[in-house]
């Protein structure tokens, strides 16, 4: 059928072929031949599209409000239009700069997909879960796609020149490719050069990744920390750093906060630099993000949100709080890694039924405590701890996951899905690809410090026996064979025995032979 339509439309390699391919696509979609992917990119014959065609229009800055979603939380998003598609305002402004720079080098970029409504995302997700449309392609749950937060664009990377140009230059405009299997999917993380088509005047609120800087009060539905310094006179009292999930962030205008990881948020070029010299942005230990501060522009390869108070004219235009994902968490000799095995002895904590990239997650110990993982119930003959998340959208698939150690091990695990357990060393379990925010409060805690399992070869003790008065047992040499030192110590794991303890053992064995 497609072949007949192509002949009907006289498909060919000429200046009108993109229009013909577009018509062909529309006809086929109407006949049910083609269905949109969640991250759909139309086929391209590789020819560049001239600036000004239907495919590549100017960014239009007529604003309208819509409901966006970030990590499941609704918020009001400002949309404009780029290439005929609804795009979040800051993303569109940065894209306009990038598109113009590429065009000057003879490369024509256009947008296939931008902002999506909840209903549009629900369609793709239903196709995925019911497997009755859209080729059962993987789709994020409604409210969790970055197309709904406004940062994601699907671009025409079937054109090799476009793909190569983006790889070389997109980061300069704040865009990064975030899905390895999707060459067309690019996301805006902030830090674009000034002067974008919709960037004047600068917006009061700036968003990058999961972080929002607000200079007009807390953001609705988010967890916010106030960034004010009482010594600052330029209206910083209504400035906040907000996140969709509660990360336990705090701000101090008087030195770092004890037991937290803090970065200094100073601005040396301020009118009163001493006011900001002792200001710190702090995060709890084992927070999923590592923060850094720059007063000279956004840092490369990091998610950076712009801190700027419009009424403060003293050098805040280039100040950014930047974050990079933390890929492992360690405490008390144990490590959770979401990027493959860490050093030591590891078990893969994968749940095959969970699509959120748990296959490269490992729980590791510095010494071998005999850990084993099961996603099919507890392991017989071992002491097991259930690793479940009752608030997870797919709670049932995690209900039969267990972390186990030998029954005689001195290590005892305790799982918490409500934050770390007081008084115990705990390790955060978190996967950045996990779409459920409920995993932010999941921790594995350790009841005791592990000791290495002793698996030594057979040990032989020889000692002289003593004949007790009135006993018919002759003197001589007695021998006792032990499979390991654990056999003597009652199954407890231990470091090499001390001489006093060995003497007590020998005395006890002598008495048993009498």
Q: H helices of 10-88, where?
A: 17-30
CATH no. for 35-188? 3.30.1380.10
pTM over 0.75: no
Q: Could you state, in order of their start, the residue ranges of all structural domains in the chain? A: 1-34, 35-188, 206-326, 329-446, 459-513
Which band of pLDDT confidence, cut at 50, 70 and 90, is reported for residue 445?
very high
Question: In 451-498, which residue ranges form alpha helices assigned H by DSSP?
Answer: 485-488
Interior/surface letters 148-163, b for 16+ CB within 10 angstroms, e for the rest: bbbbbbbbbbbbebbb
pLDDT of 263 > 90? The answer is: yes
Mean pLDDT value across residues 126-150: 88
Residue, of 454 and 338, whose pLDDT is higher? 338
Sign for the CA dihedral angle at 451, 454, 459, 465 comes to positive
Instruction: Tell me the pLDDT band of 427, cut-offs 50, 70 and 90.
Output: very high
Q: Where are the alpha helices (DSSP H) in 317-442?
A: 395-398
Angle formed at CA 509 by CA 508 and CA 513, multiple of 5 degrees: 120
Q: Which has the higher per-residue pLDDT, 273 or 171?
A: 171
Question: Given CA atoms 249, 255, 259, 265 in this order, what sign does their dihedral have?
Answer: positive
Q: Is the pLDDT of residue 177 over 90?
A: yes
How far, CA to CA in Å, does 358 sit from each of 210, 218, 339, 429, 458? 21, 34, 9, 11, 41
Is the distance from CB of 57 to CB of 138 less than 8 angstroms? no
SS3 percent helix, strand, coil of the chain, rounded to 5, is 20, 25, 50
pLDDT band at 247 (very low <50, low <70, confident <90, very high): very high
Cis peptide upstream of residue 452 (ω within 30 degrees of 0): no
In this predicted model, what pLDDT tens digit does every residue of 145-175 receive, in sequence order? 999 999 999 999 999 999 999 999 999 999 9
Which tens digit of pLDDT belongs to each residue from 75-113? 889 999 999 999 999 999 999 999 999 999 999 999 999
Helix (H, G, I), strand (E, B) or coil at 284: strand
Q: What is the pLDDT of residue 340?
A: 94
């Amino acid at each position: 059928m497609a072949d007949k339509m192509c002949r009907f439309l006289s498909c060919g390699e000429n200046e009108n072929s993109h229009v013909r391919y577009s018509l062909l696509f529309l006809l086929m979609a109407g006949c049910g031949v083609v269905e949109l992917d969640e991250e759909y990119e139309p086929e391209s014959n590789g020819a560049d599209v001239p600036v000004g065609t239907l495919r590549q229009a100017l960014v239009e800055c007529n604003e309208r409000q819509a409901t966006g979603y970030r990590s499941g939380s609704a918020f009001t998003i400002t949309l404009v239009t780029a290439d005929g598609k609804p795009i979040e305002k800051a993303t569109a402004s940065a894209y306009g700069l990038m598109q113009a720079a590429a065009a000057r080098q003879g490369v024509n970029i256009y947008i296939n997909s931008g902002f999506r409504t909840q209903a549009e995302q629900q369609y793709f997700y239903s196709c995925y879960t019911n497997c009755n449309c859209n080729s059962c392609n993987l789709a994020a749950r409604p409210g969790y796609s970055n197309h709904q937060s406004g940062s994601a664009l699907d671009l025409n990377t079937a054109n090799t020149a476009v793909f190569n140009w983006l790889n070389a230059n997109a980061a300069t405009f704040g865009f990064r490719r975030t899905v390895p299997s999707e060459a067309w999917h690019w996301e805006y993380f902030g830090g674009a050069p000034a002067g974008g088509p919709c960037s004047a005047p600068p917006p009061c609120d700036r968003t990058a990744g999961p972080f929002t800087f607000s200079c007009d009060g807390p953001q609705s539905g988010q967890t916010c920390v106030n960034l004010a310094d009482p010594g600052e006179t330029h209206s910083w009292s209504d400035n906040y750093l907000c996140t969709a999930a509660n990360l336990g962030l705090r701000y101090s205008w008087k030195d770092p906060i004890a037991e937290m990881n803090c970065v200094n948020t100073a601005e040396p070029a301020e009118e009163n630099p001493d006011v900001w010299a002792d200001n710190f942005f702090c995060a709890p230990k084992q927070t999923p993000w590592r923060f850094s501060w720059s007063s000279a522009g956004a840092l490369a390869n990091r998610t950076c949100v712009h801190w700027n108070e419009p009424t403060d004219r003293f050098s805040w235009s280039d100040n950014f709080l930047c974050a990079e994902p933390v890929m492992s968490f360690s405490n008390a000799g144990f490590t959770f890694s979401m990027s493959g095995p860490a050093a030591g002895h590891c078990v893969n904590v994968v749940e095959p039924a969970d699509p959120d990239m748990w296959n490269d997650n490992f729980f590791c110990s510095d010494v071998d405590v005999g850990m084993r993982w099961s996603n099919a119930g507890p392991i017989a003959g071992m002491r097991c701890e259930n690793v479940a998340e009752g608030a997870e959208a797919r709670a049932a698939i995690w209900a039969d996951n267990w972390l186990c150690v030998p029954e005689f091990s001195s290590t005892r695990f305790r799982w918490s899905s409500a934050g770390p357990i007081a008084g115990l060393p705990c390790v955060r379990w978190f996967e950045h690809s996990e779409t459920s925010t409920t995993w932010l409060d999941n921790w594995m805690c350790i009841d005791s410090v592990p000791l290495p399992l002793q698996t030594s070869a057979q040990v032989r003790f020889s000692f002289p026996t003593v004949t007790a008065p009135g006993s018919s047992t002759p003197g001589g040499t007695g021998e006792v064979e032990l499979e390991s030192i654990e056999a003597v110590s009652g199954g407890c794991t231990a470091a090499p025995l001390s001489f006093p303890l060995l003497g007590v053992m020998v005395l006890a064995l002598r008495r048993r032979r009498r």
